[in-house]
Structure 1
């Protein structure tokens, strides 16, 4: 069997890492082996690890299947892989797919619902986990795919999907009756992708960010105003909805002091600063729940069409906002993980690793 590798982090200390070598497992009937090829590292991946227990992200890729003990976790990564071996009709060797992968050189899947768009992993341990994470999209049947924009898909697709679904909910609920929408962690990819979708369609958009990221965030042009966190006391006192992508308790407290009852909605979207603060928010936005609602209402094909349309608009401009930094190999993956974990990646940089 060919050699492979696995990168893992300690669940109780995400800065403690290990990189082990092993062999790829032999396939049983009904299985396929994916060789993980190209992945991205963003704050979103850190969020998966921070919420690994509470949101069951660690369960997608059990460490025991990769030769590791239960104290370790494999941070989930989005990216591309190729089918290296298959016992499943319709899943051909060489097929390139986009999806949710472990921080390892391989993944064994049990393809189900195979069609031109790809397949789902029907492995038993993933059966009761959120279904959008189990989908593997074939590049040959993906309306959002462009060969020349793979790195943008690697870095942005899951984030943009959250942004797209968040904007859809905000618009659908008539902007919560607010005259201003405030987004924290405004320099983050998920925040500014949501702002891109919302800009010019409703209330005034205000981005909150650290003072060092104010200039970059303003340069994007998708916020009506950008305010440093220590300037929250200067926000206009108007009915305001807060979309919290930072999870910082101090930011929420400052907004409540400034706005009081004018804070008409408080929605936790993500945790870029690793402080679990969902309970303090009025509600929690989970993109797969919104996706399920729209799939039931619109159908899968229409949801795919609308997403692809929005993605192409975004992809046409976001390349000018980003410098893609490409590393090679497992050691580069570890280095990128630690850099993102420590918050050392500038907002203009996107970390991609070729494995």
Structure 2
């Protein structure tokens, strides 16, 4: 039987890692086997692990069936996989899919709602988890797919979906009446993709970042103003919405002190510092909620086409903003994980690993 492996991290210490070897899983009726092919490691994946308990991210790929104890977790990744075996009509060996994948050699899925665009994993343990993470898109039926830009899709697509939905929600609410939108962690991919979508549509965009990332963030051209965190006092006293992607308590406190009641909305979007920010913010943005609204408004095909159009515009520009660092195998996956976890990855760098 074909050998397989699984990379796992300590649920109480994300810097503790292990690789467990084992045989490739066998299939039951109604299942298909995916060989995980090419994945990315970004701060987004660290977020899944940090929020693994509270947001149930550990439950997508349980460690137990892979021979690992309860102290281990599998941080979900995004990327491409190949169907290598299937008992399901319409899901055929050789098909290539994009979706939510474990840091492992293989994944067993139970395809449902199979159509020309792909399928959903109907495995029992995923039934109560957020449905957008259970979709697997065939490259042949994906309006956003371009073979030459696979690495961009790996690195940016889940982030860009969040950015696209965030920008859409802000615009859908008439920018909450703000004249200024402030985004923290402005050099992060999720932040500047949202800024790309929002730029020129009304409010002034201000990006907050660390002093060492100011020049890079300014070079993107997505923000009207870029400030280091220690210059928050230079903000104009406009009605302001804060889109918090950093999770840093000190930044929020400084912003509230500077703006006072001019801070009319405080929205937690994610975190890149490893400090959960949901409790301190006024509200939390969750992309699937806005996605469900737009599916009602536009229909599934309408949402997919709008996303694909936005992605193609963004990808054409973002190709010049990222340097792909490509690795191969479990050890390079581990090294990329540890580097991103420690915050050592420069904003221009994106880690992609061929498995």
Q: Match of 2:275? A: 275
* Mapped contact 2:25–2:106 kept (Cα < 8 A): no
* Alignment partners' CA distance in 1, 2:237 and 2:61: 46
* Alignment partners' CA distance in 2, 1:293 and 1:69: 39
Q: Match of 1:203? A: 203
Q: Where does 1:1-355 land on structure 2 (aligned, <5 Å)? A: 1-355=1-355
Instruction: Look up the SS of the partner of 2:320 in the other structure.
Output: helix
* Alignment partners' CA distance in 1, 2:88 and 2:213: 48
* Alignment partners' CA distance in 2, 1:277 and 1:232: 19
**TM-score normalised by the chain length of structure 1:** 1.00
Instruction: Look up the SS of the partner of 1:93 in the other structure.
Output: coil
Displacement of 1:165 in angstroms is 0.2
Aligned residues: 355
* Mapped contact 2:270–2:277 kept (Cα < 8 A): no
Q: Is there any run of 5+ residues in structure 2 with no aligned partner, and where?
A: none
Instruction: Look up the SS of the partner of 1:350 in the other structure.
Output: strand
Displacement of 1:173 in angstroms is 0.6
Stretches of 4+ moved more than 3 A in 1?
none
Displacement of 1:177 in angstroms is 0.5
* Alignment partners' CA distance in 2, 1:24 and 1:170: 45
Displacement of 1:136 in angstroms is 0.1
Q: Is there any run of 5+ residues in structure 1 with no aligned partner, and where?
A: none
* Alignment partners' CA distance in 1, 2:328 and 2:205: 38
* Alignment partners' CA distance in 1, 2:90 and 2:70: 35
* Alignment partners' CA distance in 2, 1:296 and 1:54: 28
* Alignment partners' CA distance in 2, 1:246 and 1:106: 33
Instruction: Look up the SS of the partner of 1:299 in the other structure.
Output: helix
* Mapped contact 2:9–2:72 kept (Cα < 8 A): yes
* Alignment partners' CA distance in 1, 2:108 and 2:350: 28
* Alignment partners' CA distance in 2, 1:256 and 1:195: 21
CA RMSD of aligned residues (A): 0.5
Instruction: Look up the SS of the partner of 1:136 in the other structure.
Output: strand
Instruction: Look up the SS of the partner of 2:70 in the other structure.
Output: coil
* Alignment partners' CA distance in 1, 2:179 and 2:212: 27
Displacement of 1:297 in angstroms is 1.6
Displacement of 1:317 in angstroms is 0.4
* Alignment partners' CA distance in 2, 1:218 and 1:65: 47
* Alignment partners' CA distance in 2, 1:152 and 1:81: 16
* Alignment partners' CA distance in 1, 2:54 and 2:103: 20
* Mapped contact 2:97–2:139 kept (Cα < 8 A): yes
* Alignment partners' CA distance in 1, 2:143 and 2:303: 11
* Alignment partners' CA distance in 2, 1:318 and 1:210: 21
* Alignment partners' CA distance in 2, 1:322 and 1:158: 16
Instruction: Look up the SS of the partner of 1:320 in the other structure.
Output: coil
Displacement of 1:312 in angstroms is 0.1
**TM-score normalised by the chain length of structure 2:** 1.00
